[in-house]
Structure formats: C-alpha cells, structure tokens
Amino acid sequence: MTRSLSGRLVIGVIALVALGLVVFGAATDALLQSSLLGRIDAQLSSGHDAAVVGLGGEPGPDDRGPSSPFPTGTVVELVSPTGQLLAPPRYSVPLGATTTPTWTPVLPKQLPSAGMDHPVTPYTVRGTGGVEEFRVTDWPENFYHGNYVVLAIPLTDVDTTLHQLLVLELELGAGMIALTALLAWLIIRVGLRPLERMGGVAQQIAAGDLSRRVEPATPDTEIGRLGLALNGMLAQIESAFAERTASENRLRRFIADASHELRTPLTSVRGYAEMLRRGAERSPEDSAVARRRIEEESVRMSEMVDDMLVLARLGQGRPLELKPVDLQAIARDAVADAHAVAPRREITLDAPNPVIVAGDDTRLRQALGNLVRNAIVHTPAETPVLVRVAAVNGTAHVTVVDHGTGLSAEDRARVFEPFYRADPSRSRDSGGAGLGLSIVAAVAGAHGGLVKVDETPGGGATFEMELPTSVREA
C-alpha cells in the first residue's frame, strides 16, 4: 500500500467513485428490470381474451398464432390440470417467418392458478429451445372444459437489454474511473504543492535557519491557516532560541566578569598573606597593614558574593516574601541613611503620601538604597539629589534625580548589566563591582515592575523604578 498522501487520496477518490458507480449501476439495473417486467406483466394480465382466441380454430396462411399485443415469441398452451399438454403450442412470430419455434416454458407440476377462476399473478420459469426464462401466467378456462390456458412471454429481450446496459455501464465506468483518477491526481498534486514547499522550508529550518517562514500563511484556506500556525510556532521557537542564546551569553559574561572582579581582591589577599609570612616578625607596621588590607578585601569579596547570590536568586524566579510595604517609609529611611553618609550633600525627599505596594521589604530597601548610593557616589559632592515617591494610575513611581555629568546613550542602554561601569577609570575601591543597578533591575522585575534611566533636564541622570500597587501573588 502506498505511503504517499497524494497516492492515498487518489485511491480514496477512485474508491468513492467506483462505489458510487456500482450503487448507481445496480439501482439502474434494478429499476430498468422492474420497469421491463412490469410492462410484460401488464401484457400478460391484459392478454386473456387474445390468448383464448389464439387457441381456437386453425391459423390461416398469414396467421401463425396469437396476435398483438403480444411480443414476438409469445407462447400460448392448453394443458390439463395435471400439466399435460393438450394441444400444440401456439406462437406469436413475425409475418412471413419460415420456421416454427420450438421453445416452451418449463411449467411446475402444480400450476399456481389451481383452484382459482382468474389468471394468476405472473411468475418466472425456465425455458427450452434456446430461451432461458419465460414470464408466465395461467388460468382455468371454462371454454376448454376446465383445462388451463398458459400464456408465456420470453424474457430474451429483457435479458439482452440488461446485458447491454451492464456492458455499457462497465465501459463507461472504466472510462470515468480512469478520467477521475487522472483529474484527482492532478488536482491533489496542485493542492499539495504548498505542503511540499512547507516541507522544504521545514528542512531548512531543521538545518538551523530559524528565520525562514512557510508560505502560504493566510486565513483564507486550511493550508494557509496551517502556515499561520506554523509561522507563529516558528516565531516562538526563534524567540526562545534567541533568548536562550542571549541568556547563555549573559551567563558567560557574568562568569567572566565575576572571575575578573574576584581575581583582584584574591590577588591582594594572597600578596598580603605572603607579606605576613615573610616579614611579620621584622616589621610590625607592615604586619598591621597586611592584616587590615586582608580584612578589607575579604569584606569586599563577601559583599560581592552576597550581591551575586541576590542576582542568582532573583534570576531563578524564587518567590519573594510579599507583604504590604510603604514606599514612603522606605524612601524616608534611604534618605536618612544617605544623610549619614554624606551629611553636607543636599538630599531632598518628595513623598507627601504613603504609597503601598505588595513587595519584599528587604529587597525594596536594597534597591532604593542602591539608587540613592549610586547618585551619591557618581556625582560631585555639591550636586543635589532628589528622591520622589508617587502613585499614578495604579503604578508606584520611585524616582532618584541627580544633576551630575549624566550618562551617554550607550551607558544608559547597558547601565543595568552586571559588572558594567559607566566610568571605566573608577577604581573598584571607590566605584564598587558594578552590581548595584543590576540588583535594582532584578528586584523591580521580580515585583512585576521595571526600572529605567533618562537624562535629567539641565544635565544629570534620572533613575525611575515603577512597581504595580495592586497585590501580586508570589
């Protein structure tokens, strides 16, 4: 059996057409046979008088038997109640025929009309003399002293007509099936051509070209709707692969940056430890410096590792401890902490009303503290900083505005990446590891919000964190 879809469809169409032709032919043959037999039965039912007349008297030169309405070959017999032929059969033959027919019906031993006084319903019997079947009726006739008159019409013409019809049906059916097979193959081939093109595109996609799309992709046809569905699936697959590639690239960059950031303090710790091993007894001052620096570098590495753990947990989508949190209170504490670190700097809070969100208090304090600390560290000491908290249309806005040197467009696009420093000249001691703003972005994303940076009118940078004020499930 063929495995091709087109082959199976062609076979299916041919089978349906053949089944339809068989059913139609059988119905046609049955209806025609019924019509022809009905016509003969009508002739038998109405031929009583003509049959009786055909049995009486001697036929003349041009009178060979019963006259119309009987067809050629009709037989009229007179038989006894026991079925014995009492007189030679009379035949209806064409005028001028030179031979006498010899065919007769084979009657049953007990005539169906026995005990009746009228012609029996026509029935079919076998025949002799080259006639296969007769349609027969019989009845008792008082004129012949209770003997029976048998009227039989041969079914030769009916059989011939049905045979010719069967041959014609077979010839026409074979031609129609062949023509149907050809047209079905052509139509199916044309109809399946878009699927073949889709298969070719699918092979190219499987080879790695995820940018390819199948055609047609329209809502007008079934194949077009399939194309739309496939293109939508391909777009999602391409997006997933792109996201996976980007995630892998970020992971590689994160690992490389983390290794680079940890290498410097580790090198310092190793160097100072070597200094202690070699000269602690000879120089107490150097020993004290080495211990202090080892402790400072260890603290800095610990903070960096803690920040990386925070990023890892937020990146894994771990659930946060969501509770009602007042951003006004968090901002007030962040400003107070900033005043303690930079008492001479002008740091202003604009938060006239409480703004309640469903969030993690610890992480939100860390995020806002990082934004304020970023403004203090990366701007001159005399630069004012404004912290604003407000709720607009169901969204909480936490804004930190400074009037420093600002950020370039490239820096604004990458400033939330881990370990990115807008000013490469800053030392790690003064500028940190570059994880503060990435933690802000991760915290905002974990709360269903976002963080963005814009240029402050007149110079500087404006960082804004947006969070939904509605309660959010963890």
Tell how strand 90-91 and strand 450-455 pair up.
unpaired
* Confidence check: pLDDT of 471 > 70: no
| Residue 178 banded pLDDT, cuts 50, 70, 90 | very high
Summarised one tens digit per residue, pLDDT across range 263-297 is 767 777 787 787 777 765 567 777 777 778 788 77
Query: What's the confidence (pLDDT) of residue 229?
Result: 86
Residue 442 falls inside a structural domain: yes
| Same domain, yes or no: 350 and 458 | yes
Domain membership flag for residue 56: yes
Q: Can you give the pLDDT at residue 59?
A: 41
The reply to whether 463 and 327 lie within a common domain is: yes
* One-letter identity of residue 210: L
What would the mean pLDDT of 87-115 be, rounded to a whole number?
Answer: 74
Helix, strand, or coil (residue 209):
coil
Domain termination site, one of 262, 281, 311:
311
CATH of residue 281's domain is 1.10.287.130
Domain membership of residue 290 (yes or no) is yes
Residue 78, beta-bridge partner list: 149
Do 347 and 257 reside in the same domain of the chain?
Answer: no
Confidence of residue 316 (pLDDT cuts 50, 70, 90): low
Q: Are residues 110 and 239 in the same domain?
A: no
Mean pLDDT lowest among 10-14, 55-59, 260-264, 275-279: 55-59
Determine the pLDDT at residue 472.
Answer: 45
Percent of the chain residues topping a pLDDT of 70: 84
Q: What was the pLDDT predicted at 469?
A: 84
With respect to residue 84, please indicate whether it lies within any of the assigned structural domains. yes
Q: How many domains does the chain have?
A: 3
Q: What is the pLDDT of residue 372?
A: 92
Q: Does the residue 241 lie in any domain? A: yes
Asked whether residue 334 falls in the same domain as residue 458, the answer is yes
Is residue 288 located within the same domain as residue 395?
no
Q: Is the pLDDT of residue 432 over 60?
A: no
pTM over 0.75? The answer is no
Q: Mean pLDDT, the chain, as a whole number?
A: 82
Domain holding 275, by residue range, is 222-311
63 has a pLDDT exceeding 50: no
- pLDDT at res. 261: 63
Categorise residue 28: left if φ over 0, alpha if ψ from -120 to 50, beta otherwise: alpha
Mean pLDDT, range 432-461, rounded to an integer: 86
101 pLDDT more than 90 = no
> What was the pLDDT predicted at 335?
92
Q: Do 265 and 363 reside in the same domain of the chain? A: no
pLDDT, residue 436, reads 82
Q: Phi and psi at residue 283, in whole multiples of 5°?
A: -135, 95
Do 464 and 333 fall into the same domain?
yes
The verdict on 233 and 323 lying in the same domain is: no
pLDDT-derived band of residue 325, with 50, 70 and 90 as boundaries?
very high
Give the pLDDT confidence score for residue 451 in this predicted structure: 93
Residue where one domain finishes, among candidates 311, 344, 377? 311
- Domain end, chosen from 259, 287, 311, is at 311
Q: Residue 350: helix, strand or coil by DSSP?
A: strand
- Asked if the structure places residue 332 within a domain, the reply is yes
Average of per-residue pLDDT across 374-380: 89
Report the pLDDT value the prediction gives residue 453, as an integer from 0 to 100. Answer: 93
